[in-house]
Amino acid sequence: MAPARSVLAVALAALLGGVSHASYTEQPACPKPFTPFQCAGCVATKDGSSPFDFRSSADQSSMTVAKCTAVCKGNSYRYAALTYYGVCYCGNLEGGQQVHVNQCNYKCSGDSSEHCGGQNAWSVWEDPTFAKGAEEVTTSDYQAQGCYNDNSGHGRTLGHPANVPDLTPDKCISACKTQGYAYAGVEYGGECWCDSNLNPYATKAAESECNVPCKGDSSKVCGGNSRINVYFAKDLASSEPCTVGPNPSSSGVPSTTGVPTGSSTGVPPGSSTGVPPGSSTDVPPGSSTGPPTSTPTPSTTIPPTTTKPSSTFTTSTLCPVVVTPTPSGCANPVGDWCPKPEPDWNEGLGCFSAAAACAVQVPICFLHAGLQNTAGCFDFAARCKAIKLCCLGCVKGGCSKKSCGATHEEPPTVTTTLGPCTSAPPTPTPTICPPSPENICAEGSSWLHKFGPGHPVCGVPLPIVSCNDDSKTFGSGAFKLYDHSDSSKCSIFPKPGVSNACQAACKYQLDKCLAANDLTCIFNKVGGLLGRGSEQSAASDKTHDKRTLGLVKNLICKKQYAACVLANKKVDTSRCSSYCQK
C-alpha cells in the first residue's frame, strides 16, 4: 500500500474511534420498496470533516434524497446524509452538531426541489426501522453467528477493520458497538472487523476452522486464517433489511425471496422502485491483512417490483419545506447588462455545456451593456474562451467552475422551516440544453464599407440564432433568437421560419446600431464607424458636425442590415432537427 494511502487510513481510523474503512466493499443501492427515511435535520462540522462513516461512490452529479437513502438502505446504515449538492454519506451515528436547517441550503444536483447539505453541512435522513441506538445495547446483546469464510473474492465478510490491542471477542464487540455497527468479527487471533451488514457472498465455514487463540486471552478463539467468528446484535440492525442477515444454520448466503415484513413498504418520496444499484467501491480495497478483494456487483437482492406502494410518511415527519431566497443584485455586471451565471460542473461534458452557455451570451453583452462598455464585453468573451480551453483538460471530480477560473457565485441565502413531508412528486422543470454559440445566421459584409464577420458597424454584433434550448417549447419552434440573457424571454421560430428568425436578428442589430451614440461609435476602438476604421481615420472625422456623423453612421447601419437580409435568404434548415442537436 502506498504511503499516502496508509496515512489516509490512519487518519480515518483516528477520526472514527479506531475503525478504518479502506476495506469496505460498497453494496448496491436497495432496489425494492422500503419504509422511507425521515428527515433528521441538518448537522455541521467546523473543519468540514465528515461525521459519517462511509462516503458512497454514487454519482453526485444527479443525486437525490431518494437515491442516497437507497444507497444507505442497501448498505444497512441507519443514517443517510447529503452535502455539497449531492455527495452521499452513510453512517450509524449522527455526528456533528445540530444546526438550523437554513445552513443546509444547497439544491440537490438531481432534484432542485430538494436540499443536499451546505458548506460543511449535511442534510440528514434517518431509517425509522432501527429499534435501538448504540448506547441502548450492551456487548451481551451480540450473539455468536458461527465461523465464516473470509476469502470469497468479493470483498471482506465484514468490511471495517478496528484497531483493538490485545484482542478478545468482547473488546472487538465493544469497539464495533461504539460506532453503532450491528456486526462484529474476530479473525486470525488479532484482527477485529465491524460492519452494518454481512457481505452477501459470505459463506459459513466449519467451526473447527476458527481455531486461532485470541492475543488478549488465549483461552478464547478469535477466528483463523481467512476465517472469522461473527457476532450480531439484532437491535442495532433494521427490522426491515434490504438483504437478509446471516442464519447460523444456513450457508450464509442471503435469501432472495420475499419482501421484508413490517408496518409499511413505502418508497422514498420522488423515487421509483427500481433505483439502479451502484457497482463501484468508494475506497479501493486493500488492507494489510487477509486476501485481496475485488470490486463486486452482488445480485442477491430481490428484483424491483412493478408497482409503487403509497408512502408511509405521517404528519409527524418533518422536512425542510419552505425556502425563501434572499434577493440579491447582479454578481458580475457589465455596464447595464447582467450575465446569467454559468452552471457549475465537475466533468468535461458539463464544462463544455457551461462554456457554450457563456459564449452564446457574448453578442447579448454587446447589445445590452452599452457601447461605452464594449471593453467589458471583450473581457466577458475572453472568460468564455478560457472556460472552453479549461474544459479540454477536465478530469471528472477535478474540474469545476472555480478551478477553471470562472466566477464562482455562492448559493443564495435561504430561510427554511421544518414542516410535514409530502409524498407528492415535485413539479417537473423543463429540460434545458445549452445552445451552440455558432450562429445559424450569416452576418452581412461589405468590402467597400469594411464591415463583416467580427467587424460589425459600431461594434454591434448580430445576435445568435441557434437551436431552442427549452424542451418544453421545442415542438413549437426549433429555433430561438438569443437576444436576452433569460432565454425564456427570447422569441422562437419553427423550422420553415428560420429565415424569419435571421431577418429578426438583422433587424435587432439594425435597431441597436441606429441607437448607438454617434460620436462614441466614430471613436469606438471596436473598429470605428466602418467596422475596421483606424483611430487615425476616425480622428479625421472630427471635422464632421454631429448631424453629418449621424447621417453617415445611419447610412452604413442600413447598408449592413440590407447585406444581412440578403445573406440570409437561404438558411440551412437541417440544423436543430431534434432537441439538443447542435
Contact 167, 189 (CB under 8 A): yes
Q: Alpha-carbon dihedral of residues 393, 397, 403, 407, nearest 10 degrees?
A: 120
Top-ranked range on mean pLDDT: pick from 358-367, 484-493, 500-509:
500-509
User: CA–CA distance from 535 to each of 238, 374, 445, 521, 524 (Å)?
Assistant: 78, 16, 21, 12, 8
Q: What pLDDT score does 372 carry?
A: 65
Which residues are registered as beta bridge partners of 227? 149, 224
Angle of helix 374-391 relative to helix 348-359, nearest 10 degrees?
160
In whole angstroms, how far apart are CA 310 and each of 211, 241, 272, 514? 50, 19, 12, 62
Q: Predicted confidence band at 148 (pLDDT cuts at 50, 70, 90)?
A: very high
Higher pLDDT, residue 377 or 206: 206
Q: Helices 546-567 and 498-515, interaxial angle, to 10°?
A: 170
Answer for the pair 202, 300: CB distance below 8 angstroms, yes or no: no
- Asked whether 435 and 356 are in contact (CB, 8 A), the reply is yes
Query: Is the sign of the CA dihedral 191, 197, 199, 204 positive or negative?
Result: positive
pLDDT band for 434, please (50, 70, 90 cuts).
low
Query: Across 317-412, where does the E strand assignment appear?
Result: 318-323
Measured CA angle at 232 (ends 226, 235), to 5 deg: 160
**What pLDDT is recorded for position 365?**
82
Residue 547's pLDDT is: 60
Q: 146 pLDDT exceeds 60?
A: yes
Residue by residue, what is the 3-state secondary structure of 434-450?
A: CCCCCCCCCCCCECCCC
Q: What is the DSSP string of 248-278?
A: TTS-SPPP-SSPPPSS-----TT--S-PPPP
Nearest to 181 by CA among 227, 142, 153, 223: 142
Higher pLDDT, 141 or 314: 141
- Dist CA 182 CA 173 (whole Å): 9
The average pLDDT across 354-364 equals: 80
Domain extent listing, the chain: 1-26+131-274, 36-128, 333-417, 429-567
In whole angstroms, give the CA distance from residue 372 to residue 520: 7
Is the per-residue pLDDT at 218 higher than 50? Answer: yes
What is the pLDDT, as a whole number, of residue 416?
41
Which sign does the torsion angle of CA 540, 545, 550, 552 carry?
Answer: negative
Confidence of residue 1 (pLDDT cuts 50, 70, 90): very low
Q: Is the backbone of residue 443 left (phi > 0), alpha (psi -120 to 50) or beta?
A: beta
C-alpha dist (Å) from residue 503 to 185, 348, 469, 476, 499: 75, 35, 20, 19, 6
Q: Of 185-189, 472-476, 532-536, which gets the smallest average pLDDT?
A: 532-536
- Of 204-218, 328-342, 354-368, least confident by mean pLDDT is 328-342
Three-class DSSP category at 166: coil
Q: What share of the chain is helix, strand, coil (3-state, %, to 5)?
A: 25, 15, 55
Nearest-angstrom CA–CA distance, 359 and 384: 6
The Cα–Cα gap between 425 and 427 comes to 7
Mean pLDDT of the chain: 74
Among 11-20, 172-181, 393-402, the minimum mean pLDDT is found in 11-20
Distance CA 244, CA 263 (A): 17
For the four alpha carbons of 98, 100, 106 and 108, in that order, the dihedral sign comes to positive
Q: What burial letters (b/e) apply to 475-505, b meaning 16+ CB within 10 Å?
A: eebbbbbbbbbebeebbbbeeebbbbbbbbb
pLDDT at 152: 78
User: Nearest-CA neighbor of 294 among 445, 507, 151, 491?
Assistant: 151
**206 pLDDT tier (thresholds 50, 70, 90):** very high
| Spatial separation of the C-alpha atoms in residues 213 and 359, rounded to whole Å | 69
**Residue 106, CB half-sphere, CA atoms under 13 Å: how many?**
25
Tens digits of residue pLDDT in 482-502: 887 777 888 888 877 788 889
Q: Report the candidate in 183, 188, 232, 195 with the shortest Cα–Cα distance to residue 210.
A: 188
Over the stretch 286-335, which tens digit does the pLDDT of each residue have? 333 333 333 333 333 333 333 333 333 333 344 544 444 444 457 678 87
Taking only the tens place, the pLDDT of each residue in 83-114 is 999 999 999 998 888 989 889 999 999 999 99
Amino acid 530 reads: L
351-363: average pLDDT: 80
Collapsing DSSP to helix, strand or coil, 418 comes out as: strand
Question: 480 with 500: CB under 8 angstroms?
Answer: no
Grid coordinates representing 284 are: 479501493
Of residues 356 and 32, more confidence is placed in 32
442 strand-pairing partners: none
Q: Which of 150-159, 237-246, 292-301, 361-370 has the lowest mean pLDDT?
A: 292-301
pLDDT at 339: 82
- 111 three-class SS: strand
19: pLDDT strictly greater than 70:
no
Q: Report pLDDT digits (tens) over 436-450.
A: 777 889 999 988 888
Type of residue at 200: P
